[in-house]
A = this chain, B = another copy of it.
Amino acid sequence: MPLVVRLRSAVCLLGRFPALAGVDLDVHAGEILLLAGPNGAGKTTLLRLVAGLVPLYSGEAEVLGADLTLDRRSARRHLALVGHETFCYDDLTVRENLRFVARASGGDGGTVDATIDRLGLGAVADLTHGKLSAGQRRRLALGTALVRDPELLLLDEPHAGLDADGRAVLHEIVAAAPGEGRTVLMASHELDLARALATREIRVDSGRTSLPVGGPA
């Protein structure tokens, strides 16, 4: 199976601090890979590197066949990131935010209503982002990733802030991903929930990936 992500001795600097200090990582198509590790380990930085949002300082990085040092845009087109922030506009409604992302990614916005239903955002679909509660925002963030129908789904602590119902929806989405042709790379501190989903787990610590824990290699 082809490699979706391939990192070799990848180093990323935040300011002058090596948030990633030489990471090696292979992610295979169809995997659900869990990144676990303590606060400040570099999980968020790793996901942002793969998404092409922070630059590579040294080493090699290939995502969806594109070399990140040469061409970040073509990889970005086919992946989606749910980060600590929502990437949404405060003055647009839930529906408008989703439609904008869908159309900007080249779609026609036809899946927006289905996504709103799937995420249980029906009641707040016409409320602007600025008025949403923390959990409603997390659901919307998940929605903006789904409407793009990505090949690679990057999730940064997707459980945080979601209620039981939201977690069930998240579980269902991630579990269905391989069947829909998606690969998932997920950082989480909800180890029990995340492990129930993951096909493999990798530990990130002090800006390095260390021996994989559990799951098939």
Contact = CB atoms under 8 A, between A and B. Distances in A.
Interface of A: 14-15, 17, 37-40, 44, 84, 123-124, 131-136, 138-139, 157, 160-167, 189-191
B39 A163 contact: yes
B189 A135 contact: yes
Given A17-B131, A162-B189, A163-B189, 15 more contacts: A37-B163, A38-B135, A39-B134, A39-B135, A39-B136, A39-B161, A39-B163, A40-B132, A44-B133, A134-B157, A160-B161, A161-B189, A164-B189, A167-B189, A190-B190
Contacts of A44: 133-134
A120 to B, nearest CB: 8
A60 B134 CA distance: 26
A139 B167 CA distance: 24
A17 B131 CA distance: 10
Contacts of A39: 133-136, 138-139, 161-163, 165-166
A130 to B, nearest CB: 10
B133 A163 contact: no
Contacts of A14: 131
A14 B127 CA distance: 12
Contacts of A160: 157, 160-161
A58 to B, nearest CB: 21
B165 A135 contact: no
**Which of A37, A44, A135, A138: most chain B CB closer than 10 A?**
A135
Given A44-B134, A189-B135, A165 B38 contact: yes
A136 B17 contact: no
**Which of A40, A131, A160, A164: most chain B CB closer than 10 A?**
A40
